């Protein structure tokens, strides 16, 4: 009631209760009128009370004297706690009997004292207390019975002892039906245990508890109720009963549940909507004129923008540079927040490098809501389609498609290095068609795909390394020089389903939007593949045109060279034959011997030139047999070393266990000699290295179609001979004419060396490829078919034989009179009788007229009736006619023309008497005698 002496004095005379204030020594400080009436004393007499001179006495209700230490006032002072509802009696001298009272003793403090210095004793007569209690109970019952809440009392275990009218009406039962029932049984089983556990655990110190539980109504409905329970204790602090007040909260629960579900639906929609959402409030007094606070953002906002923890922060803190990079966007937010008019736009936000489709509206003044979606993919797709359409329609004539594509990809994908490649040599190598780096197009190069990410792309559709690519490919020098982080590559597929190229984009930063980058590359790859294939087809068309023109030129020049060589050989036959006869007929000590020998040497050199011309025309003399390429090169080492410059170093790199090649070993030696001498002259006086390699490997279509050959070879395994030098190299113009006859870059020379090489290779059904760049040397690669036949052992050299003599009649047929004269002289020297004919028809007549002709030496090329027609006529007359073919062309060319005709032997012009003797001797051993 009171805590301090001041509070007590204020209400001291106002309360109808008896009150007096007592000091610690037991003397009274003050007393009110109600107390004096109960004690039956005057004020002055009451205040004279002390322990030594007591003016009044307290006793127990039964009249026994109360000892001083049992006085409630002393107990309150000693303990510092109030003593309440103490039943005592006061001796009233006026009434002559004790007056029962109910007394409280309240300790009082003065000012800021911590220890009580006085005690207030409050008391009332017992009858008054009983009456007050009865009135209080009446008021309590009236209040309990009429209040809207449920009120019940029950004992431990749930036995109901009281229920108000509200609860009875709620359960539709009479009070008499409820009293004595178990209160707990009205509740839902799952909640009942929690209620019992909570209520039964209350004691004198913990006397209150509130619970929301479910309960069954008599009509079977399950409802929600809220109960506030308390414990009623006796004077000893023991629980006597429990009292609870409750109410039906089903509607509230339903509304709460509905609100909760509504909030959950809103939250679910808010958090799971695919569009980004931000609720913002403008800050008009900010140092930034358009700053605002993100009040709330959803998960998609963070996912789409990459901005984490934006809620509650200012825009200037989340994106500090946005005021400079995107002022128009922020100005639109301000307009909406101040005007309330919604706006829609598509905007490229530089601060996050994304295209956004934005809707902005204002739910309240000063605030705005942003609903947006990232449309970068759509925008980039539209830009890509526009680029591809523009590339088809309005391509700049001074810039090729791949350069435009590389520049477009660098800008769109924000990558630093773009290269577009054409695949070569079985997809092991690539040649760039466009290289774009930091706004500049680099020079195109050829590089090996091994140990590069581009090598991983081939055979797959797309390959991506979002970061750390240079650590994965430490041998790729381009990645190391760029300090590359990210890589994305896509294959360019040809119309036949074969990879023909690739596009690679490289960045110095990690790749952020892999999906978009992959889609852009996939979109342009089809167009790029078509353009690359068109380019390849165009190059192939031009190559075939050039090849056809070159072939026509070679064929024309070959026919010319072959004709000249043939006619030249006819002339040389007379010169060489006459010189041979002259040397045989003249005395060995004659001064003219030297002159005849010089004539013979000149004729032989002229014959060698004619053979080169025939080799160029592809009609040279080939003695085809299985040849070991390595053995041939090893045998030629000494000859090659003395043939090249002393400042050149010759290196052989020969593969082991090579199959033989079906070739003419003499012609192969000429190929090697010409290529090595050409390499030595390219190196010149500065010195260098000439490397000769041999091997056997697979050559793909790409390699073979770019090589020089008579006809395009099919892809497969071939032997190869390679001559490489580190000399001056050749430019494109020189490479284009390197095999032209009479074309030379030397100060002196006929320009037939490389032409002869090409002719020999064509005659062997092979190919040759030249790779060269100015200042980087030259590599010649000769490709030849392998032979399945074994290499024959060399036949031991024959010992010189004695002069051989033949017999019988020989018919010599040639349209050149000088050849008939010289040939007849040489045949007569060999012991034959000779008949000559200057035409094919005359030869047939002579053969029919004479019956003693053992052999016919027949020129293949004659006017009117040529050698082939003459041979057929002779065969019709005599199927067993012995014909020796004589021609300025090679035996291989003759065999091609007269295959299956059964001629006896072949002798090539020009020939000496020794060559004629060898042919006649071999023919004589197979003769069947003269015709009878």
- Given strand 905-908, what is the order of strands in its sheet? 833-837, 809-813, 853-859, 883-887, 905-908
Query: Cβ–Cβ contacts within 10 Å for residue 393, how many?
Result: 7
**Cα separation values, 396 from 30, 391, 392, 498, Å:** 117, 8, 10, 30
pLDDT, average across residues 747-753: 50
Weakest-pLDDT range from 379-388, 521-530, 639-648, 892-901: 892-901
pLDDT, position 392: 61
- Predicted confidence (pLDDT) per residue in 318-367, tens digit: 988 888 888 888 889 989 998 999 999 999 998 888 889 999 999 998 89
Beta-bridged to residue 246, according to DSSP, are 150, 227
Nearest to 282 by CA among 364, 373, 371: 364
Is the domain covering 384-545 a CATH 2.60.120.560 domain? no
Work out the angle at residue 714's Cα, subtended by the Cα atoms of residues 712 and 717, and round it to the nearest 5 degrees.
125
> Residue 812: which pLDDT band, with cuts at 50, 70 and 90?
very high
The average confidence (pLDDT) of the chain is: 82
- Given strand 716-725, what is the order of strands in its sheet? 648-654, 688-699, 716-725, 778-784, 767-772, 708-709
Task: Kindly state the DSSP code that residue 460 receives in the 8-state scheme.
Answer: S
Q: In whole angstroms, what is the distance from residue 351 CA to residue 358 CA?
A: 15
**Cα separation values, 349 from 276, 330, 341, 345, 596, Å:** 14, 10, 22, 12, 98
Length of the chain, please? 932
Give the 3-state secondary structure of 56-70.
Answer: CCEECCCCCECCHHH
Nearest to 763 by CA among 860, 896, 673: 896
Residues 6+ apart with CB under 8 A from 772: 729, 730, 735, 778, 779
Map out the domains of the chain as residue ranges.
5-132, 147-254, 273-374, 384-545, 622-784, 809-924
> Residue 696 in contact with residue 655, Cβ under 8 Å?
yes
Topology of domain 622-784, CATH: Heat Shock Protein 90 (3.30.565)
Weakest-pLDDT range from 195-204, 713-722, 895-904: 895-904
pLDDT, position 70: 77
Residues 6+ apart with CB under 8 A from 80: 107, 115, 116
Runs of H (alpha helix) within 767-866: 817-829, 840-849
- Predicted confidence (pLDDT) per residue in 488-539, tens digit: 999 998 888 888 899 999 999 998 888 888 888 888 888 888 888 888 888 8
> Residue 256: which pLDDT band, with cuts at 50, 70 and 90?
confident
- Predicted confidence (pLDDT) per residue in 286-304, tens digit: 555 568 999 999 989 988 8
Q: Is the pLDDT at 3 greater than 70, yes or no?
A: no
Query: Cβ–Cβ contacts within 10 Å for residue 118, how many?
Result: 22
pLDDT, average across residues 641-666: 86
- Predicted confidence (pLDDT) per residue in 462-479, tens digit: 889 989 998 999 999 999
Q: Is the pLDDT at 389 greater than 90, yes or no?
A: no
Assigned architecture for domain 273-374? 2-Layer Sandwich (3.30)
> Residue 703 in contact with residue 425, Cβ under 8 Å?
yes
Nearest to 308 by CA among 293, 296, 318: 318
Assigned architecture for domain 147-254? 2-Layer Sandwich (3.30)
Q: Is the pLDDT at 581 greater than 80, yes or no?
A: no
Domain 809-924 in the same topology as domain 384-545: no
Query: And the tokens for 427?
Result: 């997809």
pLDDT, position 750: 47
- CA dihedral of residues 353, 359, 363, 368 (deg, nearest 10): 20
> Residue 434: which pLDDT band, with cuts at 50, 70 and 90?
very high
Q: In whole angstroms, what is the distance from residue 345 CA to residue 342 CA?
A: 10
Sign, Cα dihedral of 261, 262, 266, 269: positive
Q: Is the pLDDT at 24 greater than 90, yes or no?
A: no
Global pTM reads: 0.47
Work out the angle at residue 290's Cα, subtended by the Cα atoms of residues 287 and 292, and round it to the nearest 5 degrees.
90
pLDDT, position 795: 45
Task: Kindly state the DSSP code that residue 608 receives in the 8-state scheme.
Answer: H
Q: What are phi and psi of 345, to 5 degrees?
A: -165, 160
Q: In whole angstroms, what is the distance from residue 106 CA to residue 108 CA?
A: 6
Assigned CATH class of 809-924: alpha beta
Assigned CATH class of 5-132: alpha beta
Upper half-sphere CA count for residue 315 (Cβ side, 13 Å): 26
Query: And the tokens for 833?
Result: 């009788």
Query: And the tokens for 132?
Result: 């007050």
Q: In whole angstroms, what is the distance from residue 293 CA to residue 818 CA?
A: 114
Whether omega for the bond prior to residue 632 falls within 30 degrees of 0, making it cis, is: no
> Residue 189: which pLDDT band, with cuts at 50, 70 and 90?
confident
Give the 3-state secondary structure of 415-456.
Answer: CCEEEEEEEECCCCEEEEEEEEECCEECCCCEEECCCCHHHH
Residues 6+ apart with CB under 8 A from 140: none
Helices (H) and strands (E) in the chain, counts: 30, 36
- Percentages (nearest 5) of helix, strand, coil residues in the chain: 40, 25, 35
Q: In whole angstroms, what is the distance from residue 387 CA to residue 197 CA?
A: 77
More confident residue, 567 or 927: 567
What is the chain's Cα-based Rg? 63
Residues 6+ apart with CB under 8 A from 148: 166, 247
Q: In whole angstroms, what is the distance from residue 47 CA to residue 38 CA?
A: 15
Helix or strand (DSSP H, E) at 525: helix 514-585
Q: Is the pLDDT at 742 greater than 80, yes or no?
A: no
pLDDT, position 110: 72
* 3 state SS of 650: strand
């Amino acid at each position: 009631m009171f805590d301090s002496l001041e509070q007590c004095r204020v209400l001291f005379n106002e309360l109808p209760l008896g009150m007096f204030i007592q000091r610690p020594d037991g003397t009274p400080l003050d007393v009110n009128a109600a107390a004096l009436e109960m004690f039956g004393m005057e004020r002055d007499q009451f205040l004279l009370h002390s322990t030594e001179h007591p003016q009044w006495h307290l006793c127990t209700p039964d009249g026994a004297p109360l000892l001083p230490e049992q006085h409630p006032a002393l107990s309150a002072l000693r303990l510092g706690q109030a003593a309440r509802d103490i039943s005592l009696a006061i001796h009233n001298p006026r009434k002559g009997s004790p007056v029962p009272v109910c007394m409280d003793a309240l300790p009082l403090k003065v000012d800021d004292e911590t220890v009580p210095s006085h005690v207030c004793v409050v008391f009332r007569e017992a009858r008054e207390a009983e009456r007050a209690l009865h009135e209080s109970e009446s008021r309590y019952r009236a209040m309990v019975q009429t209040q809207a809440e449920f009120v019940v009392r029950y004992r431990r275990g749930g036995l109901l002892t009281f229920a108000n009218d509200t609860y009875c009406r709620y359960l539709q039962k009479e009070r008499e039906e409820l009293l004595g029932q178990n209160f707990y049984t009205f509740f839902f089983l799952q909640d009942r245990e929690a209620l019992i556990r909570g209520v039964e655990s209350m004691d004198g110190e913990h006397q209150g508890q509130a619970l929301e539980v479910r309960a069954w109504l008599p009509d079977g409905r399950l409802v929600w109720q809220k109960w506030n329970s308390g414990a009623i204790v006796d004077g000893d602090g023991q629980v006597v009963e429990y009292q609870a007040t409750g109410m039906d909260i089903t509607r509230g629960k339903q509304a709460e549940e509905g609100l909760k579900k509504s909030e959950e639906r809103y939250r679910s929609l808010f958090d799971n909507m695919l569009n980004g959402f931000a609720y913002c409030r403008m800050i008009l007094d900010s140092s930034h004129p358009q700053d605002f606070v993100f009040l709330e953002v959803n998960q998609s906002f963070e996912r789409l923008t990459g901005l984490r923890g934006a809620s509650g922060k200012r825009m200037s803190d989340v994106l500090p540079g946005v005021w400079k990079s995107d002022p128009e966007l922020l100005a639109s937010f301000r307009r909406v927040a101040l005007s309330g008019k919604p706006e829609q736009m598509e905007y490229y936000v530089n601060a996050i490098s994304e295209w956004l489709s934005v809707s902005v509206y204002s739910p309240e003044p000063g605030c705005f809501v942003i609903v947006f979606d990232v449309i970068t993919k759509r925008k980039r797709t539209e830009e890509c389609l526009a680029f591809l359409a523009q590339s088809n329609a309005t391509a700049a004539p001074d810039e090729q498609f791949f350069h435009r594509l590389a520049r477009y990809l660098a800008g769109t994908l924000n990558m630093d290095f773009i290269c577009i490649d054409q695949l070569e040599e079985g997809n092991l190598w690539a040649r760039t068609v466009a290289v774009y780096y930091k706004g500049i197009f680099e020079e195109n190069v050829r590089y090996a795909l091994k140990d590069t990410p581009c090598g991983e792309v081939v055979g797959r559709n797309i390959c991506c390394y979002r970061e750390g690519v240079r650590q994965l490919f430490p041998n790729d020098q381009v990645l190391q020089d760029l300090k590359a982080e990210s890589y994305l590559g896509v294959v360019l597929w040809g119309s036949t389903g074969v990879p023909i190229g690739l596009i690679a984009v490289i960045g110095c930063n990690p790749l952020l939007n892999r999906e978009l980058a992959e889609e852009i590359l996939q979109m342009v790859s089809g167009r790029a593949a078509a353009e690359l294939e068109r380019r390849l087809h165009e190059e192939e068309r031009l190559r075939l045109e050039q090849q056809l023109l070159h072939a026509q030129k070679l064929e024309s020049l070959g026919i010319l060279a072959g004709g000249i060589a043939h006619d030249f050989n006819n002339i040389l036959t007379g010169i060489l034959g006459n010189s041979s006869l002259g040397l045989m007929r003249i005395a060995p000590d004659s001064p003219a011997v030297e002159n005849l020998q010089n004539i013979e040497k000149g004729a032989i050199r002229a014959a060698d030139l004619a053979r080169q011309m025939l080799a160029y025309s592809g009609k040279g003399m080939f003695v085809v047999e299985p040849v070991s390429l390595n053995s041939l090169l090893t045998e030629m080492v000494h000859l090659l070393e003395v043939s090249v410059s002393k400042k050149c170093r010759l290196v052989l790199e020969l593969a082991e266990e090579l199959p033989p090649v079906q070739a003419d070993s003499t012609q192969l030696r000429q190929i090697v000699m010409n290529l090595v001498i050409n390499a030595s002259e390219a190196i010149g006086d500065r010195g260098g290295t000439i490397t000769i390699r041999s091997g056997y490997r697979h050559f793909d279509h790409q390699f073979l179609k770019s090589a020089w050959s008579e006809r395009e070879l099919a892809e497969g395994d071939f032997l190869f001979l390679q001559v490489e030098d580190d000399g001056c190299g050749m430019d494109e113009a020189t490479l284009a004419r390197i095999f032209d006859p009479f074309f030379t870059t030397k100060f002196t020379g006929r320009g037939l060396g490389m032409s002869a090489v090409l002719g020999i290779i064509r005659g062997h059904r092979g190919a040759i490829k030249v790779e060269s760049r100015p200042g980087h040397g030259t590599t010649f690669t000769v490709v030849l078919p392998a032979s399945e036949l074994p290499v024959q052992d060399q036949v031991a050299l024959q010992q010189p034989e004695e002069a051989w003599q033949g017999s019988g009649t020989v018919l010599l047929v040639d349209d050149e009179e000088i050849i008939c004269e010289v040939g007849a002289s040489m045949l007569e020297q060999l012991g034959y009788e000779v008949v000559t004919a200057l035409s094919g028809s005359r030869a047939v007549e002579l053969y029919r007229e004479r019956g003693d002709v053992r052999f016919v030496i027949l020129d293949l090329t004659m006017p009117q009736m040529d050698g082939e027609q003459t041979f057929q006529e002779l065969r019709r007359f005599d199927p067993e006619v012995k014909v020796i073919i004589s021609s300025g062309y090679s035996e291989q060319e003759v065999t091609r023309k007269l295959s299956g005709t059964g001629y006896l032997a072949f002798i090539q012009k020009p020939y000496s008497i020794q060559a004629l003797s060898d042919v006649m001797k071999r023919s004589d051993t197979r003769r069947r005698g003269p015709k009878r």
